[in-house]
Structure 1
Amino acid sequence: MSNQVIWGYEGEIGPDFWDTLCEEFHEAAQFPQQSPIDLTNVPTVELDYQEPLVFSYVSQIFNQRVTQHAFHLVPQELTGKSFVTFKGQAYYLQDIHVHFPSEHILEITSSEAEWHFVHKNEQGQLLVLGLLFNSTDQQFYLKNEKMRDYIETHFLQTDTCEINPGLFLPKKQDYYHYVGSLTTPPTQGPVYWFVMDAVQEIHQSFMDLFKSKLPVKNHRPVQPLNDRKVWYYEDKDEEHTNS
């Protein structure tokens, strides 16, 4: 039913009214731990170093598509390729999409963009990784050159592309972890959220290109913390290779 409901980000179909648009949206909104949240100076609990998020991303083929609300990269193979492991469970990458501006807040104000990597395990539990970006006019570094190749060669120019999702990951992978919800309706939970504690930089030309093809604003405002626990993981390994 939810795919037949018209919703958006402004006016009477915007975030403040999602729960009034249909019964499914209303029921999902009753989940008390909604996302996104403001992570600025939030009290945190140290995440056990034996339980970090482990990335197993590989180069694979994605379908590219633009919907009314976002740009999506959808893996052609939803199991057996790129995945993350948390507490012994494998969560397979299902979708990558972007929000302007960011939905989570790290440094008092929103960042220019936030990429969401949506994963799911065999039991159907969702895990979403949030990566925040601002634009810069500085010269490209190595990882950005690989990202530039994707954007200049494939972004919305072909139906499919081959890319390693690890290109989007920061070198130092500190992150916040909390239990929340989806940020688009129906906003059901629980969803295991991991938000990288690094606002990465992407060249201004990249950011402008993405914004020119996508909705001007497609973000949900931050939601109340509601006394939930937020964990923090400090990465001890600064030699990650994400290529």
Structure 2
Amino acid sequence: MKHSLILLITILIISCVQKTDLHKDAHWSYEGETGPVHWGEIEKNSDCGGLFQSPLNIVNYKVDSLLTPLKITYSDSTHIHDIINNGHTIQYNFDSGDYITIEGVTYELKQFHFHEPAEHLIDGIRYPMVIHLVHKSENGTYAVLAVMAKEGKSSKPFDFLESFLPIPVGENRIVDSAFDMNLNLPDNRAYFTYSGSLTTPPCTENVQWFIFKNPITVSLSQVEKLKALMPLNNYRDEQSLNDREIKLSK
């Protein structure tokens, strides 16, 4: 009996050590032992276990008449420098030139990437795809624009972006071509806004989010082409609101 108890304890200790080592050496993903619920364990110095995380279900928002239209300064000829398949998404990196201005602070567009389906929900509805445009200020703070996409009419800008695909996981490809990011923004630019985080590790908080209320349209074939190159369901589940306020511009 004593030997059996010692054996059981030994097995449990080994199991715990192996699990700890797995999290210690693993890279994050969207499923299983390295999925979103474990990001805080895998990324020890991250904000992934914080109280003000993203994405959210955009509900119980308030219209704020004081919110002004977004000051988006996107050139029609800014260059996409390169494209990378990082194993989590397809990401396009920009040369300097495009930026947004928020309360007098300039945030330069660094890159945009895709999630299928979308991460934020709007009134409980999850769109089939979203583009996240990630901007960064000189002092290191982030502002992200989220452009929802629904299936419908084919998008010519998407045809251009997908002309550089496919690209294998872990590889990047120089693009060095001009692109007008304005073409991938909705005509009606009413937006939801709140303070949250990046939706992938390190889940940095104090990120200003601007989620356009209205989606753009892309064709089913365009959605499927991207989907085939990214992890299945590369989205993080909705996080707790924790007394944050969500505002809607007019």
What interval of TM-score do these two structures reach, taking the shorter chain for normalisation? 0.7 to 0.9
8 Å Cα contact 1:130/1:196 also seen in 2: yes
Distance in 2 (alpha carbons) for counterparts of 1:165 and 1:196? 15
* Structure 2 runs not aligned, ≥5 long: 1-24, 168-172
Distance in 2 (alpha carbons) for counterparts of 1:14 and 1:180? 20
Secondary structure in structure 2 of the residue aligned to 1:180: strand
8 Å Cα contact 1:5/1:22 also seen in 2: no
Distance in 2 (alpha carbons) for counterparts of 1:186 and 1:31? 11
User: CA offset at residue 107 of structure 1?
Assistant: 4.0
User: CA offset at residue 233 of structure 1?
Assistant: 0.8
8 Å Cα contact 1:45/1:229 also seen in 2: no
1:214-225 aligned at under 5 Å gives the runs 214-225=230-241
Letter of the 1:189 partner, please give it. E
Out of 1, 9, 12, the position equivalent to 2:30 is: 9
Out of 47, 55, 61, the position equivalent to 2:79 is: 61
1:221-232 aligned at under 5 Å gives the runs 221-232=237-248
2:174 pairs with 1:159 = yes
Distance in 1 (alpha carbons) for counterparts of 2:70 and 2:100? 7
1:69-218 aligned at under 5 Å gives the runs 69-77=88-96, 81-136=97-152, 138=153, 140=154, 144-148=155-159, 150-151=160-161, 153-156=163-166, 159-160=174-175, 161-218=177-234
User: CA offset at residue 45 of structure 1?
Assistant: 4.4
Secondary structure in structure 1 of the residue aligned to 2:193: strand
Distance in 1 (alpha carbons) for counterparts of 2:120 and 2:213? 11
User: CA offset at residue 30 of structure 1?
Assistant: 4.2
So what's the TM-score if we normalise by structure 1? 0.83
Letter of the 1:83 partner, please give it. Y
Q: How many correspondences in the alignment? A: 218
- Superposed CA offset, 1:71-121 (max 9, x none): 0000133xxx00011111111001101011100001423111111000011
Q: Structure 1 residues 30 and 108 mapped into 2: Cα distance closer, same or farther (>3 Å)?
A: closer
Letter of the 1:171 partner, please give it. D
Secondary structure in structure 1 of the residue aligned to 2:188: coil
So what's the TM-score if we normalise by structure 2? 0.81
Out of 23, 35, 39, the position equivalent to 1:18 is: 39
Which entry has the higher C-alpha Rg, 1 or 2?
Answer: 2
* Structure 1 runs not aligned, ≥5 long: 235-243
Percent identity of paired positions between Structure 1 and Structure 2: 28
Question: Which of structure 1's runs of 4+ aligned residues deviate more than 3 A?
Answer: 151-158
Distance in 2 (alpha carbons) for counterparts of 1:23 and 1:179? 22
User: CA offset at residue 168 of structure 1?
Assistant: 1.0
- Superposed CA offset, 1:175-197 (max 9, x none): 00000011001112110000000
